[in-house]
Structure 1
Amino acid sequence: MSELSQYEQGFGSFRIGEMTLALPMKSVREVVPFHPLMALPCPHPWIKGGLDLRGVSIPVLDLECLLNRPGHQYSPGCILLIAHENHLLGLIADQVKALFFANPNSLHTVSSTDSIGRLFAGSLMNRELNQLVQVLSTQALFELPGLPKAKDPEPHRQSLELQTSNEDTALNTRTPLMLMQSMATLFAVNPKDIETTVVNPVLLPSEYAGGFYKGNLDYREQTIPAIDLAGYMGLGAHKQAQQPTQQAFVIRVDGHPLALLIDRVLDIVHVPHNSVIPLPGFGLPKAAQLEGALPSKVFSKEDPHSQRGPQYFVLSCQRISEDQELIELASIMAKASATAQQDTDKQQGKATHGLDRLMVYRLGTEFSTPIEQVREVLPYRADIEIFERGNPMLGMLTHRNESIPVFDLAQWLGAERQSLDHESSILVVNAHGASVGFAVTSLTAIENAQWEPSVPVLGEQRQLLHGQLKTTQRLAQIGEEKHQRMVEVIDLQQQVLLILDQFGLTVSPAIEAVAATAVEPFAHSDPAAH
């Protein structure tokens, strides 16, 4: 069972609209499905109401409304309960994405004097998914002017979390465990051994469903099998569930995803690494799939986790993934899902190989760049601007003992200069022997291109530079389901080449030929530029 690294901290990522955000797991008390909220006597429209949490009313915040983007319809919808300094707050999200671990010192911090701007602590890379995540500041959330805060009915849990974070975790003496309940049975699993959690899973029927195999889930454009955890372990299949399955977590079985259905996640805790005790080799139907048992007495008497039952059965995801029955089930579903996807691709004329992984960002509207072209992402700083607004070059940035020119990417491509702020970023590109920074309004996500069609020239050809067009005529389809959309792909290495050419630096004819197939994406540039 994996132990917590001396330098790593757990983060929970989630989606709100087009934003992929994260909070330190020590701040996230639990995640609950979205429920109707009670009206509260609060004048702020971004406080949507109160959540009845076991007899305590918890104010719930709508971040999209706070950011002056009202009217967002959360789907499927869940509420993150956030704990800080003996108070609780609810935050509405579309869905929980994943648990991941990262060194908090690698956070690219962002500073702001504005109370809302301070919500954005910086950006962090989720290495497991190769996805850039925007990290929220728990302290800034609780310091919003006029925010009503509910007193934590279980303050001892925050004391334990703080102690774990500041002392034992730093000494690498504790192991993280996600506590959960399936039927009436208590389980635990190391969150580093799972791929993600799913709130409100929608179970799809299957003609082969039976026993612990309950059906399928749609997961990241695949159809994956879903099994009942307690039923699979033989620890509760005979009992009737008191409520429908509300959550699931995903593991890999022989490289294929498989979902385990549970009633709910209770908490993520850190326990001394020698707390898990061995189980007898007989009596339990699948003792081989367990690491052991976590006695409830490891928690204080006041902690609800000590009162739920005598122990938590600790799962071994590695041994579960070696179960031949599950391997066959996951493999069959993966092949069926791949065949269905290939049929869909053929019908829609989609390319099935050679597609890019794209960094998506905003320049008024969304654009993208192949992620391998971006060396680093740095937070934007207003103090780098030293040139007049008519010049697309903003100024110079010193980073890693290198002076890097920074351009407003939208203005360089022929549009108006962007309104850059604390949410803006600088994409550093190293190409043709030079490093150049490109400022963008905001980062959206890192997405896999699902389709890159060949398209005719986009609109009129504008903004020629020494006879060369500024951007390639490329589009890519990204996103899943309702969030599918087409974005233009900008070759930033080509932009470096054109910048070198504009400033009279020597570029070989072979390199210049690369720019011959480009086209201007913005429709409002001056046609006289031809």
Structure 2
Amino acid sequence: MNARVELQPEAYGVFRLAGMELALPLATMRELMPLAPLTPLPCATPGVLGGLNVRGVLVPVLDLRGVLAWPPEGQPAAVVILAHQGRVLGLLAEGGTGVFAPSAEAMVWMKQAQGTGMLMRGAFPRPDQQGMVSLLDPEALMNLPGVPVALEREGGLGVGAEIQAALGMGAPEDEPLVLVLAGGIPFAISSAAVHTTLLKPDVRESALTGGYCLGVLIHDGLRIPAVDLLALCGLGQLPRGVPQQAFLLRYAQGLVAFVVTEIVDVARADQSRVVPLPERAFRVPGLLLGALPAAACLTQVRASATGAFAHFLLVAAEALLNHTDLIGMAGINMPAEVGHGDAHQQGQRRDEAYAEHCQVLVYSVGYEVVTPVEQIIEILPWRPDEAVRGHGGQVVGVVVSRGRAVTLYSLQALLGLAETPPSDSASVLVLAHGETHVGYVVPALVSIDDAPRPRAGRVRRGDSLASHLGACSPVLVGERLLGVLDLQALTLDLLGAAVAPQPALPLNTSQPQQGHPVGRMPA
């Protein structure tokens, strides 16, 4: 386990419960864990829910709503692990908010009368001015009558900087992982190795079909070999007739697609907690590094993923990139449409076509529209309960992500469209204009596809925001002609900046600017 990281005493970790923002000194917070099944404890004290196994230590979990007779509001899904003077206690939480370091002038300290058992020692305002945060007293929590606590064993429970990442702040050195499911088996692979993801790959049989190769799929004007990840690892075969998704790896020779059942999420994880697996346990050795506990994910992952699986099999990306057969497959990327003429002319035409293409995000505003992926710096899952409510109408509220406040707008309301119920893939598309961040709530994501680069439209000053819908010419995505929505121009107009017409939307086909890889799509 990594050594403890010295934390500044004035820093506080903030979490939510029953509509309140609660804080603890960051130096006392060991972990923010997903709520897992609890072990019953022989304790009748109100609020004591049971014990949580934290790497071999049975930590009692306390619901402050029961202790303080608060109404049972909210949907707790996490446990804050509090360690103080050798004692450990778990506190029920809805989730983490962030790490704040208020100034001495901002702190409001409170003094309690002798023997009152007050749990609150102070309060401070949130930096974004979205309400006050109540500071809890760790000593008072540990001394609650009838509440059992665990003793911290030698070496502690681990965790240092990762609590900051779990609360939405800080960044551990571990790189993010792409979490996928293949035939019911959960896998994880380094996101740095993943070139892009495809939500609706069209896998077709070809001369390559056989063994773990399913055939080819079309991407960027190329026929790319498509590999069954489950079969490659010797763990079975993907079931036929069910929806599939894929992630692509880039080799020096070309691209290879790895077909899975579902791209689940992208998350940072404490990879020091990977459990090695004996190579003899697998028919194909060397492709799996070990088992990563779901609880090791430091950033929030869909509950259906971490709740259903105890571990993810960590795929050795380096082993895939050095796999002789896969390198050979990468070398036979072929143009999707082979015409007459020599190979040099075909390659030249393809290169010219690439310069006029880009990746677009296909999403619904009641009907499908597209926006160039490069405009979007981050895609967040839409969780209404985590947003600070706005005044209604176009402004949905505010959400804090990666230490920045994002103003949320209903895209349908902005464009004057009828509101449709959100789907499971309802998301927030985050754009940046200087230091200002704007999030557009959309009811459903569809896919990320390749399309001809849209030409920027012209919107006159004084036109309604809805005029952005028809400002750009539609583009052909696959076999569908879809309208283009220039969210960059819409943001400038929304914020009152001048909209300067451009000959073409800027080309940036390398990597997403920041945040989660934009290829990540909530399922």
| Same fold at TM > 0.5 | no
TM-score interval, normalised by the smaller of the two chains? 0.3 to 0.5
Q: Which has the higher helix share?
A: 1
TM-score (norm 1): 0.35
TM-score normalised per structure 2: 0.36
